[in-house]
Amino acid sequence: MSENEKNKAHYSVEDIEKYFQGKFGPNEMHAIEKAAIDDPFLADAMEGIRHALQKQETGTLYQDIEELKQRLDRRITKKRKVIFLLSDRGWWQAAVVLLILAIGGITTYYIVHNNKVSLAVSSLAKKENPDHSNADSSKTAIVLSPPSYADSASIAETLPATRSFKIIARTSDRKKGRTAHKQDTSVMANNIASLSDKPNAGVQQQSSPRPTTAAGEEVRNTQPDFKKSPAQSYFSGKVTDKYNQPIVSAHIELKNKKINTVTDKNGNFRLDIKDHDPTANAEIRSEGYDPAFINLNNGAGNTIILHESKSYLPQVVVGYGKSGKIETNQIIPQDAEPINGWDQYKIYLDKNKRPPLDSLGLKGTVLVSFMVGKNAKLSDFTIEQSIGPGYDEEAIRLIKEGPHWKLLAGKKTRAFVVVNF
Amino acid sequence: MSTLKNISPSSLSDQELIAAYRKSGDLRVLATLYQPYMDMVFGVCLHYLKEREAAKDAVMAIFEELVQKLQKHEVDYFKGWLYSVAKNHCLMHLRSAKRLQTTHLDPEHMHLTETVHLNGIMELEEHLEKLNDCLKTLSEEQKKIIELFYLHQNCYKEIELKTGMDWNKVRSHIQNGRRNLKICMEEKIKNKAG
């Protein structure tokens, strides 16, 4: 036999089936057997077919081959690889990809939509801020409109969803030539993105704009692509109100509360942050104003504008500090408030709280929630966070006997009060 | 036989088809090469994967492998090479599916690749005489069966009837007989040369 003929004399599945079904005469059988002895390939194939025949459906193996021929035919006419079709996993992967794309599309739309609203506000802010001809290339102006925000590290998931807040921050890029508009858009996208479900630190600064596509993505104050400046040893600036009048004795404090200072009669301050994390935040507070947050990495020349807190707007902030407990001085977004405002309420709490006498002098915070009804009736008191039994009761007593509450949204709602001991 | 649009039987040899494929990368050429072997590949896959659907998928997957591998590797003997590609594919598949079934490999069922070589030897006329001598060295059973199979061209079934031995035993005798003959022949050749 020539090489060619030898190679081409393949037995088909049909032949092998016949062999096992006894449809061949002895001579043919012998021929196959001989071939199988010499050819391990054939022998293996015969074994496979033999077992398959033993199982059940005889004669269908031939159909399998016909099907395979069709598949092969189709395969070679396809333009690209169809590995996907051969495994279930391929479909799953495709579905996941589509899902991600869909989510991306939706959130992009959401961001763009929000952008339009914020752009109007930012152009206003631009006018209000004349003090930006500073030679320092890394200046930042932060404009805050109420309400204000908590520390980025502190978000409570259990509390009601926050309203959407508008933060407009404008950053000047290293190159001063950048147009403000461009900055606004990109930074805004960044900020808006951070707001939708997690009110974030008040101030976002970027040395370079970082667009985020997912609305729910948290824009953190620590800037991983913060590249340029060497470690700053001082953080300084000026605190003013929206009319550019200096705010005297405003508190500036590092998040870890280790370093703080106050502004002088010109509203200027300086913090020595040599040994501190430059990506940390500082909080700027003043009585009657909403707190502001600023990232430290901007070094000098910061101008911080505080806005008067308007108590009719829902107060924000939720604080769960690193320990998971609510930090002091933080209030919660809600649709009800004390009739005289939060500041007065706090004063009331401080004045009237009577920690249980058998106490160990515990310090801490009790978070109480309760329903405020239409007639300002309070009910369904729930201790959300407790420091001890006596304290919880005292907290509830304080609320019950305290100033009345009013509803902001006109409907019965749950209110939250933080009582510090 | 259904008519296929794109795959037509070729008068070219395997080697020629491989060369043509490597040059052009044309899948149709590859399919022309692969299709005659598909039956056997299917059979082998059936043997290892034990399931028709899986075997069918494997046949197609092996084709995909060929697309790449034939471009990369030099192949002299396509049939043998294809066999090992198919076998390896099935074994890998079994391993990854974590259905590692240990099949007891009965040596009686194993067809040694040496046997290919042996067939070549057996056909050479000048060895016939030595062959006769060696035949005599075999055990009675083996000798009988070898003669029945090779000299009288009996199929297994006939041998079964004639000897009363079951099919598997017949096969294993043939295997062992051949091996012994081969060893004997090689001895003789060595001795002759020396």
Q: Where are the domains of chain A?
A: 3-77, 100-306, 336-420
The domain total for chain B is 2
Can you tell me the distance from the alpha carbon of A112 to that of B5, in angstroms, rounded to the nearest whole number? 52
In a domain, B106, yes or no: no
- The secondary structure element, H or E, covering residue B175 is helix B167-193
Can you tell me the distance from the alpha carbon of A338 to that of A372, in angstroms, rounded to the nearest whole number? 10
In a domain, B3, yes or no: no
Same domain, B156 and B83: no
pLDDT tier for residue A88 given thresholds of 50, 70 and 90: low
**Are the CB atoms for B33 and B14 separated by under 8 Å?**
yes
Q: What is the mean pLDDT of residues B52-73?
A: 92
What is the dotted CATH code of the domain comprising A100-306?
A: 2.60.40.10
Position with higher pLDDT, A231 vs B67: B67
DSSP-assigned states of every residue in A198-267: S---S----SS------TT----SS-TT--SSPPPSEEEEEEEETTSPBPTT-EEEETTSS-EEE--TTS
Position with higher pLDDT, A280 vs A262: A262
Q: Which of A218, A202, A147 is nearest to A169 (CA)?
A: A202
**Are the CB atoms for A170 and A184 separated by under 8 Å?**
yes
For the cut 80, the answer to whether the pLDDT of residue A405 exceeds it is yes
Residue-range definition of the domain harbouring residue B46: 14-96
Domain with residue B60: its CATH number is: 1.10.1740.10
Q: What is the mean pLDDT of residues A150-160?
A: 41
- The reported pLDDT for the residue numbered A177 is 43
Which residue in the block uniquely carries the two structure tokens 């030679």?
Answer: A135
What contacts A326, CB < 8 A, 6 or more positions away?
A156, A318, A319, A320, A365, A367, A385, A418
For A58, other C-beta atoms within 10 Å of its C-beta total 13
**Contacts with A39 from chain B: Cβ below 8 Å:** 79, 111, 116
Tell whether B117 is within 8 A of chain A (Cβ): no
Which A positions 80-99 lie with beta carbon below 8 A of chain B? 81, 83, 86
Same domain, B34 and B88: yes
In a domain, B105, yes or no: no
Same domain, B142 and B176: yes
Report ipTM for this prediction.
0.73
Q: Which of B21, B132, B150, B33 is nearest to B81 (CA)?
A: B33
Same domain, B92 and B118: no
Domain with residue B142: its CATH number is: 1.10.10.10
- The reported pLDDT for the residue numbered B136 is 83
Lowest mean pLDDT among A141-150, A344-353, B50-59, B179-188: A141-150
For the cut 70, the answer to whether the pLDDT of residue B91 exceeds it is yes
Among residues of chain B, what percentage have pLDDT more than 70?
78
**Pick from B5, B36, B154: which is nearest to A30 by CB?**
B154
DSSP-assigned states of every residue in A141-209: EEE--SS----TT---SSSPPPPP---EEEE--SSTT--HHHHHHHHHHHHHHHHSSS---S----SS-
Tell whether B38 is within 8 A of chain A (Cβ): yes
Same domain, B147 and B84: no
Same domain, B80 and B126: no
DSSP-assigned states of every residue in B103-169: ----TTT---THHHHHHHHHH-GGGHHHHHHHHHHS-HHHHHHHIIIIIS---HHHHHHHH---HHH
CA B129 to each of CA B123, B135, B194: distance values in angstroms, whole numbers, following the listed order: 12, 10, 19
Same domain, B178 and B121: yes
**Pick from A33, A34, A46: which is nearest to B43 by CB?**
A46
In a domain, B90, yes or no: yes
For the cut 80, the answer to whether the pLDDT of residue A347 exceeds it is yes
- The reported pLDDT for the residue numbered A253 is 85
Mean of per-residue pLDDT scores for chain B: 81
Same domain, B33 and B59: yes
Out of B66, B96, B126, a domain closes at B96
Angle between helices A60-77 and B52-72 (to 10 degrees): 40
Interface mutation vs chain A, best among B18, B44, B159, B170, most A CBs within 10 Å: B44
Can you tell me the distance from the alpha carbon of B23 to that of B17, in angstroms, rounded to the nearest whole number? 10
In a domain, B164, yes or no: yes
Can you tell me the distance from the alpha carbon of A42 to that of A118, in angstroms, rounded to the nearest whole number? 75
Interface mutation vs chain A, best among B1, B155, B173, B175, most A CBs within 10 Å: B155
Out of B46, B66, B96, a domain closes at B96
Tell whether B42 is within 8 A of chain A (Cβ): yes
